[in-house]
C-alpha cells in the first residue's frame, strides 16, 4: 500500500477554507485516494474518495493532479465542529480484504 | 439504518486478565475489521473477518484474537492483558471488505488496563 505524508497540524478560523495536502509519491495505477475525519473518542468517518481530477460532495472537495502523486482535501467555510483529525489513505479499489494503513493524520484546529 | 455498534464503550481491566469486545456491523455487511488506536502508535490494523473467516491480519501478538459469527457479528479477545494494551479499539464494517465506498467505523471501546 502506498505510503502517505500529511502535515501534522493546521490551524484555521471559522468561515475560512481549509486545504490539506497529502503526498503519495508511489501511488499505483489502481489506487484510489480516500479521506477520513475523526473526532476524539470516535471512529473515523468516511469523507470523500477519488481517483483523478476533482470530486465534490456536500462535505468537501478532493483535488487530484494529473500525476496523482498528491491530493488536496478542501473544506469550505469551516466551523468549530470541523476541528478533528483528517486522514489520507491510498489503497486499491475492490481490494479483497480490509487492511488499510492509517498514517498520523492532520490535526485541524478551527478557532472562533 | 443502524450504524456499527461496539460494546462495551468503556472497560477497565487488571493486568493479566482477558477481555472480549463485541462489534455488530451494519446489516448486510459481511466484513468486519478491528483496529487499535493509541496516542503513540496511531491507528493500527489488527485483523479482518469476512464470512466467519479471518482474511487479513496485522502485526499483533497471538494474545489478540477474534472471531466472526454467522450473523456477521464479531468479537475480539485479548488475553493476558498488558498495560500497553490500553487503547481505543475500533471496528469497521463494509459490505465485502473493499474500500469502494469507504468503511463505517463504530465509536469504539475504550480499554484501560491497570
pLDDT digits (tens, 9 = 90+) for B5-38: 999 999 999 999 999 999 999 999 999 999 999 9
> Containing H/E element for A89?
strand A84-92
Q: Which residues of A93-110 are buried (b: 16+ CB within 10 A; e: fewer)?
A: eebebbbbbbbbbbbbeb
Nearest Cα of chain A lies from the Cα of B65 at a distance, in angstroms, of 16
**What value does the mean pLDDT take over residues A79-97?**
84
Contacts of B97 in chain A (CB under 8 A): 95-98
Local confidence band at A97 (pLDDT 50, 70, 90 cut-offs) = low
Local confidence band at A98 (pLDDT 50, 70, 90 cut-offs) = low
What pLDDT does A96 receive?
53
Q: How many other C-beta atoms are found inside a 10 Å radius of the C-beta of residue B75?
A: 17
Nearest Cα of chain A lies from the Cα of B22 at a distance, in angstroms, of 15
Provide, rounded to the nearest whole percent, the portion of chain B with pLDDT above 90: 80
Contacts of A34 in chain B (CB under 8 A): 99, 102
The answer to whether the CB of A31 falls within 8 A of the CB of A47 is: no
Contacts of A30 in chain B (CB under 8 A): none
**What value does the mean pLDDT take over residues A46-68?**
95
pLDDT over 70 at A64, yes or no: yes
What pLDDT does B100 receive?
74
Provide, rounded to the nearest whole percent, the portion of chain B with pLDDT above 70: 99
What pLDDT does A110 receive?
97
Nearest Cα of chain B lies from the Cα of A5 at a distance, in angstroms, of 14
Mean pLDDT across chain B, nearest whole number? 93
A54 to chain B, any CB pair closer than 8 A? The answer is no
Residue B98 phi/psi, 5-degree rounding, is -80, 160
Radius of gyration of chain A (CA): 13
Of B42, B100, B106, the CB nearest to A94: B100
Local confidence band at A94 (pLDDT 50, 70, 90 cut-offs) = low
**What value does the mean pLDDT take over residues B103-111?**
95
Q: What are the cell numbers at A108?
A: 485541524
Local confidence band at A43 (pLDDT 50, 70, 90 cut-offs) = very high
Provide, rounded to the nearest whole percent, the portion of chain A with pLDDT above 90: 75
Strand partners, B64: B78
**What value does the mean pLDDT take over residues B74-84?**
97
What pLDDT does A1 receive?
58
**Residues A15, A79: Cα–Cα separation, whole Å:** 6
Contacts of B4 in chain A (CB under 8 A): 43
Amino acid at each position: 500500500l502506498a505510503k502517505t505524508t500529511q502535515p501534522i497540524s493546521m490551524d484555521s478560523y471559522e468561515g475560512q477554507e481549509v486545504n490539506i495536502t497529502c503526498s503519495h509519491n508511489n501511488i499505483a495505477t489502481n489506487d484510489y485516494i480516500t479521506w477520513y475525519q475523526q473526532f476524539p473518542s470516535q471512529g473515523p468517518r468516511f469523507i470523500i474518495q477519488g481517483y483523478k481530477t476533482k470530486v465534490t460532495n456536500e462535505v468537501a472537495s478532493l483535488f487530484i493532479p494529473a500525476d496523482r502523486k498528491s491530493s488536496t482535501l478542501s473544506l469550505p467555510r469551516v466551523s468549530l465542529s470541523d476541528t478533528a483529525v483528517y486522514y489520507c489513505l491510498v489503497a486499491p479499489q475492490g481490494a479483497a480484504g480490509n487492511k488499510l494503513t492509517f498514517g498520523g493524520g492532520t490535526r485541524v484546529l478551527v478557532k472562533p | 439504518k443502524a450504524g456499527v455498534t461496539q460494546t462495551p464503550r468503556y472497560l477497565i481491566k487488571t493486568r493479566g486478565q482477558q477481555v472480549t469486545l463485541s462489534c455488530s456491523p451494519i446489516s448486510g455487511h459481511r466484513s468486519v475489521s478491528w483496529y487499535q488506536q493509541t496516542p503513540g502508535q496511531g491507528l493500527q490494523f489488527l485483523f479482518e473477518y469476512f464470512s466467519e473467516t479471518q482474511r487479513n491480519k496485522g502485526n499483533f501478538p497471538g494474545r489478540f484474537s477474534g472471531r466472526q459469527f454467522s450473523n456477521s457479528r464479531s468479537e475480539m479477545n485479548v488475553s493476558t492483558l498488558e498495560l500497553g494494551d490500553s487503547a481505543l479499539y475500533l471496528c469497521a464494517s463494509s459490505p465485502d471488505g473493499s474500500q469502494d465506498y469507504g468503511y463505517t467505523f463504530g465509536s469504539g471501546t475504550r480499554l484501560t488496563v491497570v
